[in-house]
Amino acid sequence: MGKLSVNLCGITLDNPVIPASGTFGYGYEFAELYDINCLGTFSFKGTTKDPRFGNPTPRIAECTAGMINAVGLQNPGVEQVIARELPLLKKCFHKPVMANVSGFSVEDYAYTCEKLDKEEQVGWLEVNVSCPNVHGGGMSFGTDPKAAAEVTAAVKKVTTKPVIVKLSPNVTDIVSIAKACEDAGADGISLINTMLGMRIDLRSKKPVIANKMGGFSGSAIFPVAVRMVYQVANAVSIPVVGMGGVSSAEDVVEMMLAGATAVEVGAANLVNPFACRDIIEDIPRVMEEYNISSLSEIIGGAK
């Protein structure tokens, strides 16, 4: 059997498959279905400084080969995550976990990351800069290289663990933002977050989602994700975590050839809760079919 392990920012993963934030809760719900220790790791639900109820309902809209969501970062806040969610997680997951962090100001990000950095279970901090900057007119931190770099630098000052900055695809130049984060000290880049989408109900003639627009995810965005991972991986010297429409073992291998060290699986978990387990089990077959002896050796192999 081929070698599945990869090294992500100094931490070895048994395999490169990671359930993406927002699609796997805090892990223990899925642990009732299968042994989640088969995963490389997982990125837990986006966590903010304060509790958030999220956006008004309806929050979900179906679409061809994907879905649109506008959940709005619903979470119990970092204090409750540390007090309740991580102890429950520790009972069923015995590997380092990826902590996904969101914020609405640079201070928010720094506060939440500093808190989670002290937790033994946390291996990496995945910093989502796709959030609206409340001090910058509501534009996402991730649409401006300077703002993304500012968040990265602030988080790096208060943490010791690897910081992986998660980028939005809703930009004209993803490479300049990735390079700005690298220059500010990021240990890795993860991309892509959801694209911006919308559905309209023909009967009511109104947007399906109360928020009007939301994050478009699912297999339809996979080619865009592969393209952006390829562009960024060829422009930076830090690891890239690829995601966006991944739903099969073949997709994982393709994303790694584009330059991803590890691969997150998002919307597929909402369709099939066993998706990540099934993908991991199928990777050896794909490796054999395409004559791959070690996954770490194919990273960035598409030139």
Three-state DSSP state, 7: strand
Q: Is residue 1 part of a domain?
A: no
The predicted-structure confidence for 124-151, as pLDDT tens digits, reads as follows 999 999 876 556 655 689 999 999 999 9
For residue 124, how many C-alpha atoms fall within 13 Å in the half-sphere facing its CB?
33
Q: Domain count of the chain?
A: 1
234, 232, 235: which is closest to 244 by C-alpha?
A: 232
Q: Is residue 58 part of a domain?
A: no
Record the pTM.
0.96
Determine the structural domain holding residue 163 and report its residue range: 6-53+74-192+215-298
Strand pairing of 214-217 and 188-191? unpaired
CATH code where residue 240 lies = 3.20.20.70
Q: Is residue 63 part of a domain?
A: no
Q: Is residue 209 part of a domain?
A: no
Q: Where in the sequence numbering do the catalytic residues fall?
A: 131
Q: Is residue 118 part of a domain?
A: yes
Measured over the CA atoms of residue 6, residue 20, residue 219 and residue 215, the dihedral's sign is negative
Q: Is residue 252 part of a domain?
A: yes
Q: Is residue 107 part of a domain?
A: yes
Q: Is residue 136 part of a domain?
A: yes
The predicted-structure confidence for 220-274, as pLDDT tens digits, reads as follows 999 999 999 999 999 999 999 999 999 999 999 999 999 999 999 999 999 999 9
Residues of the chain with pLDDT under 50: none
